[in-house]
């Protein structure tokens, strides 16, 4: 039985096409076989012989001999994943509207498996309403549209539009080859910090970067879910392809989650919701000259997770228990009190403002699973796989 994973790499006419050989090498090191397809515009930007050598496979173009007339069908049958990288605005538009005027776009119409699109273009084009609308169309059909990087572009402009690092794109491709364990599920995720106003300029917040929530959104998208993220003002960007509801305060987050909760199948509460808020918000800005000392009265915010636990009917509800020492017993008690199906326990010392963390996954009627310190991306993938194992209606 052939266990080698197979990716068709569609290369379009963006300057970032020169990075394709490096991407093929990275995928090859992970045991992935790659066949490259070049659009006519891409042929002048990357060497076909280089692609052939690094992929150890033929390179496919519109200039193929007559014996390859059905190449788009054969490639569609061969590939398990179509990765379009770099994807220009022109090709994105063609894919969104079903135009098939070259081998790659004809292949895309014939492709029955997952499609991942890695855009790269000028900032003005990326921000344009037409491109964003086309991306929305593709995402609605199940394509995974990756975010873009920010920085200096080939034309010298600064801003969003750069191709993501090829290492990141390779990670997305490898993850996309994984089983779609949440296909057809609606996943609601809370992410990032919340902020509570003190006066017109000051706030109470916390050190959450939002990375865990972003990685959970990415893992859920790659698992085939329809993802909605309710996010406070996080420093870490959310992946493309998910619906985002921006909020600021705990009250804002509660209102948004309460509105979305009934329609979701799975809710993952990864946000660091403020436990307290000022009893009153001062008008304007309080000046240091007003007094030599300042006492701030705080009141408790509603417990958002506990409220969702009471409202739960058919949903799988997942909470996070962040505390000093990551007490397993405390997390288990919290899971029961708040009517959750799973609780992720981790320690303040290792979870805040970090790229990696250790965690303990606690589920009803199962032994706790300890996850050694690992990248939050990998932890998110483990959590999503564990959620997929929870039997439907297990909470009833």
Above 80 in pLDDT, residue 325? no
Assess whether 155 carries a catalytic annotation. Answer: yes
Segment 195-218 mean pLDDT: 91
Which carries the bigger pLDDT value, residue 44 or residue 157? 44
Are residues 131 and 121 in contact, defined by beta-carbon separation less than 8 angstroms?
Answer: yes
Give the pLDDT band (50/70/90) at residue 150. Answer: confident
C-alpha 93/C-alpha 117 separation (Å) is 12
- Position 3 scores a pLDDT of 64
**What 3 state SS string does the chain have?**
CCCCEEEEEEECCCHHHHHHHHHHHHHHHCCEEEEEEECHHHHHCCCHHHHHHHHCCCEECCCCCHHHCCHHHHHHHHCCEEEEEEECHHHHHHHHHCCCCCHHHHHHHHCCCEEEEEECCCHHHHHCHHHHHHHHHHHHCCCEECCCEEEECCCCCEEEEECCCHHHHHHHHHHHCCCCCCCCCEEEEEECECCEECCCCCEECCCCCCHHHHHHHHHHHHCCCEEEEEECCCCCCCCCCCEEEECCCHHHHHHHHHHHHCCCCEEEECCECCCEEECCCCCCCCCHHHCCCCCCCEEECCCHHHHHHHHCCCCEEEEEEEECCCCHHHHHHHHHHCCCCEEEEEEHHHHCCCCEEEEEEEECCCCCEEEEEEEHHHHHHHHHHHHHHCCCCCCC
The residue-averaged pLDDT of 146-169 equals 84
Q: Of residues 179 and 7, which shows the higher confidence score?
A: 7
* 5-176 and 186-277+300-389 have identical folds: yes
**Is the model more confident about 366 or about 341?**
341
High-pLDDT (> 90) share of the chain, % = 63
pLDDT digits (tens, 9 = 90+) for 262-288: 999 999 999 999 999 999 988 888 887
Q: What is the mean pLDDT of residues 118-139?
A: 93
Is the pLDDT at 68 greater than 70, yes or no? Answer: no
Alpha-carbon gap, residue 244 to 225, rounded angstroms:
14
Residue 282 phi, psi (nearest 5): -75, 145
Mean pLDDT over residues 183-206, rounded? Answer: 93
Residue 351 has pLDDT above 60, yes or no: no
Report whether pLDDT(52) > 50.
yes
Domain 5-176 part of CATH 3.40.50.1950 = yes
Closest C-alpha to 277, from 306, 258, 251, 246:
251
Kindly report the CATH class assigned to 186-277+300-389: alpha beta
Find the catalytic residue in 56, 85, 155, 264.
155
| Model confidence at 396: pLDDT above 60 | no
Average pLDDT over residues 307-312: 96
Q: 66-75, 99-108, 287-296: which range is least confident on average?
A: 66-75
pLDDT in tens, 4-28: 799 999 999 999 999 999 999 999 9
Give the mean pLDDT of the chain.
Answer: 89
pLDDT mean over 208-218: 93
Does residue 65 surpass a pLDDT of 70? Answer: no
Most confident of 220-224, 241-245, 334-338, 345-349: 334-338
pTM of the model: 0.71
Contacts of 263 (CB under 8 A, 6+ apart): 186
- Evaluate if residue 180 carries a pLDDT over 90: no
| CB contact at 8 A, 172 and 181 | no
- Domains of the chain, by residue range, sit at 5-176, 186-277+300-389
pLDDT at residue 349, rounded to an integer: 57
């Amino acid at each position: 039985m052939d266990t080698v994973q197979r990716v068709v790499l569609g290369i379009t006419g963006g300057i970032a096409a020169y990075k394709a050989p490096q991407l093929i090498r990275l995928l090859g090191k992970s045991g992935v076989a790659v066949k490259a397809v070049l659009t006519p515009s891409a042929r002048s930007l990357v060497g076909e012989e280089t692609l052939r050598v690094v992929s150890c496979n033929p390179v496919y173009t519109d200039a193929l001999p007559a014996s390859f007339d059905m190449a788009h069908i054969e490639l569609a049958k061969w590939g398990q994943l179509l990765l379009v990288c770099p994807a220009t605005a022109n090709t994105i538009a063609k894919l969104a509207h079903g135009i098939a005027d070259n081998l790659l776009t004809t292949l895309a119409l014939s492709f029955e498996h997952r499609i991942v699109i890695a855009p790269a273009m000028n900032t003005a084009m990326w921000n344009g309403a037409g491109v964003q609308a086309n991306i929305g169309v593709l995402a609605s059909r199940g394509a995974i549209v990756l975010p873009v990087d920010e920085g200096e572009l080939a034309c010298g402009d600064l801003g969003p539009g750069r191709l993501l690092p090829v290492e990141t794109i390779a990670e997305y491709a490898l993850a996309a080859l994984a089983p779609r364990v949440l296909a057809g599920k609606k996943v609601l995720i809370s992410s990032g910090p919340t902020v509570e106003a003190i006066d017109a300029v000051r706030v109470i917040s916390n050190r959450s970067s939002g990375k865990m929530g972003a990685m959970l959104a990415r893992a859920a998208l790659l698992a085939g879910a329809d993802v909605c993220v309710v996010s406070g003002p996080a420093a870490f960007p959310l992946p493309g392809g998910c619906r985002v509801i921006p909020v600021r305060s705990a009250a804002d987050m509660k209102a948004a989650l309460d509105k979305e909760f009934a329609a979701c199948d799975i809710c993952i509460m990864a946000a660091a919701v403020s436990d307290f808020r000022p009893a009153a918000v001062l008008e304007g800005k309080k000046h240091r000259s007003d007094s030599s000392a300042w006492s701030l009265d705080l009141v408790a915010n509603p417990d958002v997770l506990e409220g969702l636990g009471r409202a739960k009917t058919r949903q799988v509800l997942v909470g996070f228990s962040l505390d000093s020492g990551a007490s397993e017993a405390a997390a288990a008690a919290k899971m029961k009190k708040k009517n959750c199906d799973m609780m992720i326990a981790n320690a303040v010392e290792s979870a805040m403002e970090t790229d990696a963390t250790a965690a303990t996954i606690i589920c009803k009627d199962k032994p706790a699973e300890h996850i050694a310190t690992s990248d939050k991306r990998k932890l998110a993938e483990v959590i999503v796989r564990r959620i997929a194992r929870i039997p439907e209606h297990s909470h009833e």
